[in-house]
Structure 1
Amino acid sequence: MPINIPEGLPARKLLKKEKIFVMDEDRARTQDIRPLNIVILNLMPEKEKTELQLLRLLGNTPLQVNITFLHTATHVSKNVSKSHLDTFYTTFNEIKNHRYDGMIITGAPIEHFQFEDVNYWEELVEIMDWTKKNVTSVLHICWGAQAALYHHYGIDKFELPKKCSGIFQHTVTDPTVKLVRGFEDVFNVPHSRYTEVALEDIKSHPELKLLAVSDDAGVFLLKSKDNKHIMLTGHLEYDATTLAEEYERDLAKGLDVHMPENYFPNNDKNKTPLNTWRSHTHLLFSNWLNYYVYQETPYKWE
């Protein structure tokens, strides 16, 4: 999928180096097709890394995609420059009169807060309510998935005895659902979180359908029955080294954290981890864009 992203975005050079098809605006205008418009609310602290991870996945199917990056107006990020945000990002007030084919709401390392105590919670609630009429399908990742479950369906998170960190096996619960079309019966997913949602809360909710679960990491993949919301409690978008970087960061902060499980070869943190989830990551994003965005979105928004 050729993706149309702003000229000068640092991820552009890296995507081209990886042979990801990045389209400039002049060429995009000459294609006689209606591109998909995807807005990404990037709540992660290291925004440039997340940009690259998500753009890599959105650039792997045969449709043209226009990307808009969104950041919160009520929270100032400490890990990205103001010039980067000013150049490549916009705020909700500037796009709230637009409609989008798809949206991604990322995770955020703020699980120790109650949702209402997050300083941009009211803004996020406004955005989530806005998506009901203005976005065809929303993909929620990790804390973003927990926020959606809490706001839309009244399902709260609970704290785990220790951080869920590592690579865990998951089982597909219904292979006939389009989102998991082509998935192996068992597949790996990276997780990095301190909280979880209860399996029984998901199973008993009439508006939700569970699609993948892990004996060790719990609920992973689910969707609303109207296909409006797709929720992932893990981080399929992570690079092979992301968990290692998080582990070293936590150790440097003096946090009492354990080594990510099933991650380093022979549990040796000096060995380079392998990416054992890449194919399912691309497949999930491709299925979402095809079946839940492209096939469902109107050609012209009324």
Structure 2
Amino acid sequence: MTVTSDLHSTPRRVPEPLAMLRLIKPITWFPPMWAYLCGVVSSGVSPSTAPGLVALGVVLAGPVVCGMSQAANDWCDRHVDAINEPDRPIPSGRVPGRWGLWIALAMTVLSLLMGAFLGPWGFGATVLAVIAAWAYSAEPLRAKRSGWWGPGLVGLSYETLPWITGAAVLAAGAPDWRIVAVALLYGIGAHGIMTLNDFKALEGDRQLGVNSLPVTLGPERAARVACWVMAVPQIAVIALLVAWGHPIHGAMIAALVGAQLMAMRRLLRDPKGLAPWYNGTGVLGSVSGMMVAAAALGAA
């Protein structure tokens, strides 16, 4: 990771409190928190048997680890943000100097300390999550430069890893292979969600050599790829649930996928303009399907 000078000269020496909150992006915390809860439900173990581990895992997955990853990303992306979103905390100077880096590093340490209280499975998952967060944003790896590896890493980190962790922590051991399979499929599907999220940074990514799919394929083709990547894993989940004797749960997810397909048809009319709309509406079907699948697995 390379630390360079500030983007703006500013008399401010300490960050604005609201700017620090914006730096760790609370709106992004939901997916890993939800995935951890899906893991808890899919384990088949009642959350009431270990409410402390459930609460700790949710806080760790969302505000702490995900918040840390957002701070690290904003620090490493400060030059891109100066083009795409100059009002963001770091390029605007409201989080001055190297405070963005210091916050990310402090939250990295906090993540590892909290992960240690989740037992060996929880701590191991926390270590992987921290590595993935820095590998996504920081040099020399900076996986986000690739429209294939970057979204894939985020999808697995936001969906698959916390899901498996929640199941393993509650079960105090390795989760059933079916849980791993479903968690992996939803993590793959999240690649498409992350691709749509890249539309908002299209101009800055082009200028600074970030090869997101909207940059390399163009908005229309990238949107089609994203739709396929979101839909196919969910169809595979439906097939698996039916094969495992859960046709009602499979039918519920099928209905949710149907709603997503209708939203995708609208998205493809104007991918660049409607990507934020789809992320705010169409993704809800996938998220709901995750808990339906978790309930089926937990009842097995």
* TM-score normalised by structure 2 residue count: 0.31
Q: In terms of Rg, which structure is larger?
A: 2
| Higher-strand-fraction structure | 1
* TM-score normalised by structure 1 residue count: 0.31
Larger relative contact order (Cα-Cα within 8 Å, sequence gap ≥ 6) = 2
| Higher-helix-fraction structure | 2
